[in-house]
Amino acid sequence: MVDGKDASRKLARHAAGLQYDAIPLAMRELTKQCVLDTLGVAIGASGVNEEARLVHEYVSDLGGKAESTIWGFGGKAPAPWAAFVNGSLGHMLDYDDVSDGGHVSISTIPPGFAIAEKLAASGTQVNGKDFIAAIVAGTDIHTRLSLGIDIPDWTMAEGWFATQLFGFISGSATAGRLLKLDEEKMENALGIGYNQMSGSRQMAVGAATHMRAMQAGFAGQAATAGAEMARRGIIGDKEFLEGRYGFFHNYVRTGTPNWDAVVGELGTRFPLLNTHGFKVWPACAYTRPTNAATLILRDTYQLKPEDIEAITIVGGTGGTQLLCEPLEKKRRPKVSIDGKFSIPFTTGVMMARGNVTLRDYTEEGLNDPAALAMADKVSYRADPNAKMGRGGSGGSIGMVAVEIKTKDGRVLTSRPDSVPGDPKQRVGWDVISTKFRDCVSFAAKPIAAANIDRAIEDRKSTRLNSSH
């Protein structure tokens, strides 16, 4: 039986020592795909979201050493600030990949690129294999921390945003691995990350807020800076997991950690392979099951908008309810991010269009009469028998049903157990590459077709190039 003794040090040892050749081929390939996906959604946000311009202007005005590229805009900034902008950009579209523990890639890849470019600028080249190993170290720790909590829908109940919360540690692991920190300094880096932990889910409640995107940026900035501090000898919190005031005591509060999930089979078991999901629709993960169910019913029964009397989302509480209430506001989102956090609106789009794209969350899309007419037909009904889910790659998969009542009196129901992009319905390089091309077409600074092609091919290999 695995216990929590020296858990913090074990994770530090794992992060510091993980080698590319020891990583399973499937995990290497998934990580390469994650890098392309993350670059694409971040670059796309640069030309779509108003807050992208604001954070870019803020960091540009700060000045400082030109160390690391700001994606989509071009130009460089000090590494922590580049990680902040890129991490924020990567979550602005809510199109970034998901897993147990939230959005693992946006928590690790921006700090990874920021440190790699900074090292390159000082004459120390980072090879692609080391880069992939560093990303894997971070995403593995991120996922393990989440799986160690045996409390269904814990983040929702406690009000935490897992992406940011775990990102302080997972991003630190990635940055520290690239800086070649030894075991002791890696533990310091993770402990520094822990001391900065935060991330409230209040950003998903009420009016529009830019914090939904920027939380990943805050974690990336802190992780990048913290790893550099550790390299210089600054000592972080020890026993940040298992200690008297460690993570499980302070943030989880109830329940006994599943220490096997946290530190069992380090280096041989990579749980991300079983929990990771790419988004094929650009909205909050909790919309994915309802999108999938709506599309299944639409295609199976050849439904047209004029056939629909009513659409009911049937599910438990937690994320599904959060994205359905208050109903009238959710049917009429005013800004892009509110639309992405609305099941009624997104379901309306899917029923009206047969797909959900980035264009549906533009000003024109948010005011589309066909989508709004269908959104008006969407309501929510709690299912008291539904069990809470873990969140994970599919949000409420298996716990949410879509019930469509047609004008001819039929009641049609779908409750999918997986969605496109998840382990049961994996997507390959073709889908991810197409998504990348679509996203970067929105870039603030246009990208030549040849550079887009090269970026895709670089990601399929172990070549390291982030100046897109």
pTM of the model: 0.91
Which pLDDT belongs to residue 158? Answer: 85
Least confident of 303-307, 378-382, 458-462: 458-462
- What is the residue-wise DSSP string for 391-422? BTTTBSTTTEEEEEEETTS-EEEE--S--TTS
Q: Residue 351 — very low, low, confident or very high, per pLDDT cuts 50/70/90?
A: very high
- What is the residue-wise DSSP string for 113-169? HHHHHHHHHTT-PPPHHHHHHHHHHHHHHHHHHHHT--STTHHHHHTB-HHHHHHHH
Q: What is the pLDDT of residues 298-314, one digit of tens each?
A: 999 999 999 999 999 99
> Average pLDDT in the 342-349 region?
97
Q: What is the pLDDT of residues 141-197, one digit of tens each?
A: 999 999 999 887 788 778 898 999 999 999 999 999 999 999 999 999 999 999 999
Which pLDDT belongs to residue 132? Answer: 97
Cα separation, 323 vs 304, whole angstroms: 25
Which pLDDT belongs to residue 387? Answer: 58
Which pLDDT belongs to residue 255? Answer: 63
Query: Hey, what domains does the chain have and what are their CATH numbers?
Result: 7-275 (1.10.4100.10), 285-414 (3.30.1330.120)
Q: Residue 392 — very low, low, confident or very high, per pLDDT cuts 50/70/90?
A: low
Write the CB contacts of 328 (distance below 8 Å, at least 6 apart in sequence).
Answer: none
One-letter identity of residue 118:
K
Sheet-wide strand order for 411-414:
378-382, 308-315, 400-406, 411-414
Spatial CA neighbour of 406 closest among 468, 339, 351, 326: 351
Spatial CA neighbour of 153 closest among 102, 214, 209: 102
- SS3 category, 196: coil
One-letter identity of residue 241:
L
Beta bridge partners of 76: 69
Six-digit token string for 130: 């080391």
Backbone angles phi, psi at 428, to 5 degrees: -110, -165
Which pLDDT belongs to residue 388? Answer: 52
- What is the residue-wise DSSP string for 319-355? HHHHTT-SHHHHHS--SHHHHHT-HHHHHHHHHHHSS
Spatial CA neighbour of 13 closest among 190, 165, 162: 190
What does the chain come to in residues?
A: 468
**Using an 8 Å Cβ cutoff, are 51 and 214 in contact?**
yes
Q: Residue 468 — very low, low, confident or very high, per pLDDT cuts 50/70/90?
A: very low
Averaged pLDDT of the chain: 92
CA 75 to chain centroid, in Å, comes to 25
